[in-house]
Structure 1
Amino acid sequence: MRLRGNKRRTTDDRAEVRGTSGLAVELRGVRRQYGRGSDAVHALAGVDLALPRGTFTAVMGPSGSGKSTFLQCAAGLDRPSAGSVRLGGTEITGMRENQLTELRRSRLGFVFQAFNLLPSLTVEQNVLLPMRLAGQRRDRRRAAEVLAQVGLADKAGRRPGELSGGQQQRVAIARALVADPDVIFADEPTGALDTNTATEVLGLLRHAVDVLDATVVMVTHDPAAAAWADRVLFLADGVFVGGLDGGSAERIAARMAALSSRTGVMAGAAA
């Protein structure tokens, strides 16, 4: 069952609240090539994408389709070989590494399959770590607020090792929310969780979009996880090849099966 708050706003409503363009992520002609000549691998072969603020987008594709490279380029973790990336209206493609580091700390949130919590720090300290690294004042009131939003108001003084896997991922979500980021990038956020715990975590991401007006971009291999998104986009051979709006897990799985089959046939023909 999905968590719902107030009536969901339309894309136009969100654009009016958050800015004139209403775009959280924009990629134009993005290519990422590894190696040169006959050994070159084209991980992204010309990606064009515009994602509105306040939306939840899932990205899926067969193994080797470019999902991880897409996320890394979109989040400023890797540099495209060509093309343009804008986050929250800011062009990041030509930024120096120190500028990208500051942008990631202050304007982006990340949730990974591995929770990436520091075991020596308390839950509260882990949540406030992005502020600390960005040289900002550590706002304990803000930490308490986001921990309450993910159902961990009573766990601020605990260490990660004292928490379950689901609770640790909740801490990671709170850490991603603490700076009110332009975008939260989630890379297989439920990959290490059981089904019930995964549902709770996906419900929190859905809640962050519906109630907190966050923007979530999630890479996943799981159709059940992707079904929580507003839209599912499919990657194959480094380009987007279609999408589904509000698709069920069954429809998403069927589309993935067809895509994987087609990709396999094309790979076999190329061989």
Structure 2
Amino acid sequence: MPTTTSVATPVQLDAVRKTYGRGESAVEALAGVSVAFPAGTFTAVMGPSGSGKSTLLHCAAGLDTPTSGQVTLVGTDLKGKNETQLTELRREHVAFIFQSFNLMPALNVEQNVTLPTLLAGRAPDKAWVDQVIARVGLSQRVKHRPGELSGGQQQRVAIARALAARPAVVFADEPTGALDTTTALEVLGLMRELVSAGQTIVMVTHDPVAASHADNVLFLVDGRIVTQMASPSVDAVASTLAHLGEQARRQR
């Protein structure tokens, strides 16, 4: 069964700031970001390198603690929560697709994909797991371990693992970056189906094609949301990115 939540806005940031370091060496990664991610929406987060995209993702997921401001995840204010409480909340409601894969080397593809569901105390939906593994192109590799797979194949396992648990929220950091075009489009199509079923996806990407599958694109520059785009097209996203990149270069 999918993880369900009745929360209308499962991810919300209010005036979130994140500063690394102190004094003259301090770097403000997020500069007072306020944004809501409603249930059943797919949002892409884009911007020049160093604009705060990954920090936004990590703070929203409770993996990093804001310097100030409030983060609410599936109806829970994260402020003051200890690591055990945060882990339990994420295990029940959240999945991640990160660039580092974080696969268990001793487990095969199928075991890696079903692990989060088992850890949450639920029985995996075998038919759904098989479907997700097939959609990411790994049906012939289910008994292989990560060490027997290429980097792109390991990324597909990480994607299947996040989607198989059918969590309320999926946070994805460059999920299609290591994939060939055909597999990337298949994965993005699968994400769209999950969103149609009521799940919420927040995806950091550099790719205008990937972003065009989202409902909305947030553009970050220097830790601030400078513009948004609904119903994005590849050309419009690419044009906005180029403009923001040029602006950032001039300011530096």
TM-score by length of 2: 0.88
The correspondence for 2:188, drawn from 202, 207, 218, is 202
Would you say the 8 A contact 1:169–1:201 is kept in 2?
Answer: no
The correspondence for 2:71, drawn from 79, 85, 90, is 85
- CA deviations on 1:62-88 (whole Å, 9 max, x unpaired) are 011000111110111100000110111
Check if 1:232 corresponds to 2:232.
Answer: no
Would you say the 8 A contact 1:166–1:197 is kept in 2?
Answer: no
Partner of residue 259, structure 1: 244
Check if 1:62 corresponds to 2:36.
Answer: no
Worse-superposed segment, 119-128 or 236-245: 119-128
Partner of residue 148, structure 1: 131
Worse-superposed segment, 149-158 or 240-249: 149-158
Check if 1:244 corresponds to 2:229.
Answer: yes
Paired positions, count:
246
**Pairing 1:10-89 to 2, within 5 Å after superposition:** 19=6, 22-89=8-75
Would you say the 8 A contact 2:155–2:178 is kept in 1?
Answer: no
**Pairing 1:119-158 to 2, within 5 Å after superposition:** 119-134=105-120, 136-137=121-122, 139-140=123-124, 142-151=125-134, 156-158=142-144
Provide the secondary structure at the position in 2 that maps to 1:79.
coil
- CA deviations on 1:21-41 (whole Å, 9 max, x unpaired) are 610210001000011122111
The correspondence for 1:109, drawn from 95, 114, 127, is 95
* Structure 2: distance between partners of 1:143 and 1:214: 20
Cα distance, 1:165 vs. partner?
A: 5.5
Worse-superposed segment, 58-67 or 193-202: 193-202
- CA deviations on 1:97-128 (whole Å, 9 max, x unpaired) are 11112222221111123433223212221122
Structure 1 residues 143 and 41 mapped into 2: Cα distance closer, same or farther (>3 Å)? farther
Would you say the 8 A contact 1:147–1:171 is kept in 2?
Answer: no
- CA deviations on 1:201-238 (whole Å, 9 max, x unpaired) are 2122122212x322110001111111110111000110
Identity %, equivalent residues: 57
Would you say the 8 A contact 1:124–1:143 is kept in 2?
Answer: no
Worse-superposed segment, 200-209 or 242-251: 200-209
* Structure 2: distance between partners of 1:156 and 1:214: 26
Would you say the 8 A contact 1:113–1:190 is kept in 2?
Answer: no
TM-score by length of 1: 0.83
Runs of 4+, deviation exceeding 6 Å: none
Would you say the 8 A contact 1:143–1:178 is kept in 2?
Answer: no
Provide the secondary structure at the position in 2 that maps to 1:23.
coil
Cα distance, 1:172 vs. partner?
A: 2.3
Cα distance, 1:260 vs. partner?
A: 1.1
Cα distance, 1:94 vs. partner?
A: 1.9
Amino acid at match of 1:172: A
Cα distance, 1:166 vs. partner?
A: 5.5
Amino acid at match of 2:59: C
Worse-superposed segment, 200-209 or 73-82: 200-209
* Structure 1: distance between partners of 2:209 and 2:66: 30
| Structure 1 residue runs without a partner (length 5+) | 1-16
